[in-house]
Amino acid sequence: MMKRRRILLGSLQISDQLNWLPYASGCLISYAKGQPEINQRYEFLDPLYRSYSDISNYGDELKSADILGLTNYVWNQKINDKVAQLFKTINPHGTVVYGGPNIPENARMKMNYDTRRPWVDVSIPGLGEIAFSEWLLNKPFSNDKLREVPTPYSDGIFDNILRKSNQGNFRASIETNRGCPYSCSFCDWGQMTRSKIVQFEVDDVKRQLDWLYAQPVIEDIDIIDANYGILKRDVDIIEYLIECQHREENLINITFGGLAKNGSKHLPIILDMISRNAIPTGQIVAQQFTKTLYGDTRRDVKSEIVKRDSFASSDYSMIKLSFQTHTPEVLKVAQRDNIKNDKLRPLIDTYRKHNQPIMSEMIIALPGETASSWLDTIHYNHHALDIEYIKPHILFILPNTALDDPEYQKQYKIKTKKIRFGGIGKITSEGTPQFGRAHREDWHEYKIVRSCYSYDVEELVKMFDYNWFYYNLINTDLFRHKLKSTKKDTLKFFKHLDKMPFFKKIIERQRKVIRKIFADTAYTNVDDEKEIAFVNSSIRFNDDIILKDNKEEAEKLLDKYVWN
């Protein structure tokens, strides 16, 4: 019998703190294994999923492979490049194949990407199941759309990983459909090949849930659909998920990648079911609460939750709504004006009925935004939509998006640059409802917008100033009870900043890093540990800790100048 070539795929996760099962690799393997010819010619090794700071840790696994295939995301591009180069050193005759959303689909950009990576034998953009199998069989690859759901879980692709690992806390992604009908300028999801929704067979989805709920080490299931709740059958899937939860007596945290953006009559029903069945729906952010609330382990949390009548009343649970901004012009420029944020109002009301906290995901400094419009957005979010927590992200320019298109950039006078992260950033804020995760950022390089038609660096400084006020005083709950008007209070605070040296010092630290990151240069190396943490921890320093430790002083000043 012909010796089978050994394939090692890898989807390396963000940090070594989380154990995301390598779902994308699993999808490729699951599809390929359905082809008898591939099984005759190839053997799949257990896919890689961890990202180690010490690349040599991959050595043993790389040694046994003939073909290395990696999933490239913006966060693991650098580490993938290192791993692939190590593979070529260990095995000069081995083949390296790249896939994933970070591979440009535009021919010129792809050529540029490939030229900079001579160690890559082939890079395949777009959806991978069919294309990768075609490549293995030396057929021209087509990027055809998959109709059946990949079934890596029920096919046993990850069984060995779970068996061998002595760590729990696995997170598992699951898709019930793929694609997004919208086409926001900053997102790769609705662009290019992923723009139409493909629904997967409900029975296949159910088989994945059966497997997942039978695993005691799965702590989170991420339903990564872009618009969960858009279809009626989404209600049935949650119904089945609840059935699994009861059958297996396994309470797993459920995270939604995205809920139906324009609202949906099914969403309140889904939320109701989730609440009545006490399913935890915490985002990573909310999980930090548990440390203080329930102790250190998820097991503690689970047993604590099981005791409750309704999980919705717990602080642990926080559902995410992705708004990005409320500024009409910005929504238009972002090609998002067909999404009406207000349509989520009934959903917000349902959350309120269940006393469920809501987090809104926002992007700070989308083209078209100004400091003043950003303040209006935060104000609207808090006062009109009644949302208590904002998670702001920096805008990254991703391949395969309109934002990365030179024509689009020309139209909105967008100037770009790259920032690189070195070292390890760590930020902890126990006791306050914020992030507390450690990051390994030594390999990251992101393209960002440094200016556009609506802002320059000084306007950005102001935008981040306003953001600071809400994030540190209100998001943290430190002074929420005092807030009268987000807009008026923020403006008053900055009007009197010079009279408050305690705050001035903190704000100046942030201003310095904003001026550095968005400086008018092609490249900035963000090498200071605190600055790295700043970018990755929802653009904040550990100012909440400083404020908490000096609450009396802070309160006196705020009472005098803001809440007088």
Q: Which of residues 394-413 bind ligand B12 (CB under 6 A)?
A: 396, 398-399
| Among 132, 170, 211, 471, interactor with ligand B12 by CB under 6 A | 132
Identity of the residue numbered 145 = K
DSSP per-residue letters across 131-175? HHHHHHTTPPP--PPP-SPP-TTTTTTTHHHHHH-S---EEEEE-
Give yes or no for residue 344 binding ligand SF4 (CB under 6 A): no
Taking the CB of residue 87, how many other CB atoms lie within 10 A of it? 25
| Among 7, 8, 20, 324, interactor with ligand B12 by CB under 6 A | 20
DSSP, collapsed to helix, strand or coil, labels residue 56 as helix
Give yes or no for residue 258 binding ligand SF4 (CB under 6 A): yes
Give yes or no for residue 392 binding ligand B12 (CB under 6 A): no
396 binding partner (options ligand B12, ligand SF4, none; Cβ < 5 to 8 Å by kind): ligand B12
Give yes or no for residue 474 binding ligand B12 (CB under 6 A): no
Least CB distance to ligand SF4 at residue 334 (A): 8
Least CB distance to ligand SF4 at residue 253 (A): 22
Chain residue whose CB lies nearest ligand B12: 99
Which whole-number Å values give the CA distances from 288 to 65, 284, 452, in the listed order?
39, 7, 36
Asked if residue 51 lies in contact with residue 80, where contact means CB atoms within 8 angstroms, the answer is no
180 binding partner (options ligand B12, ligand SF4, none; Cβ < 5 to 8 Å by kind): ligand SF4
Give yes or no for residue 333 binding ligand SF4 (CB under 6 A): no
Give yes or no for residue 176 binding ligand B12 (CB under 6 A): no
Nearer to ligand SF4, 178 or 511 (CB): 178
Which whole-number Å values give the CA distances from 259 to 264, 271, 486, in the listed order?
9, 11, 27
DSSP, collapsed to helix, strand or coil, labels residue 400 as coil
Q: b or e along 495-511 (b: 16 or more beta carbons within 10 Å of the residue's beta carbon)?
A: ebeeebeebeebbeebb
| Among 38, 184, 192, 402, interactor with ligand SF4 by CB under 6 A | 184
Rg of the chain on CA atoms, in Å: 24
Give yes or no for residue 267 binding ligand SF4 (CB under 6 A): no
Asked if residue 171 lies in contact with residue 49, where contact means CB atoms within 8 angstroms, the answer is no
DSSP type of residue 50: -
DSSP per-residue letters across 59-113? HHHHHT-SEEEEE--TTTHHHHHHHHHHHHHH-TT-EEEEESTTS--SHHHHHHH
Asked if residue 553 lies in contact with residue 559, where contact means CB atoms within 8 angstroms, the answer is no
Give yes or no for residue 180 binding ligand SF4 (CB under 6 A): yes
| Among 29, 124, 364, 473, interactor with ligand B12 by CB under 6 A | 124
Give yes or no for residue 182 binding ligand SF4 (CB under 6 A): yes
Count of chain residues binding ligand SF4 (CB under 6 A): 10
Instruction: Return residues touching ligand B12 (CB under 6 A).
Output: 13-14, 20, 23-24, 27-28, 69, 71, 73-75, 97, 99-102, 124, 127-129, 132, 173, 187-189, 222, 224, 257, 393, 396, 398-399, 536
Give the binding site for ligand SF4 (CB under 6 A): 180, 182-184, 187, 189-190, 226, 258, 261
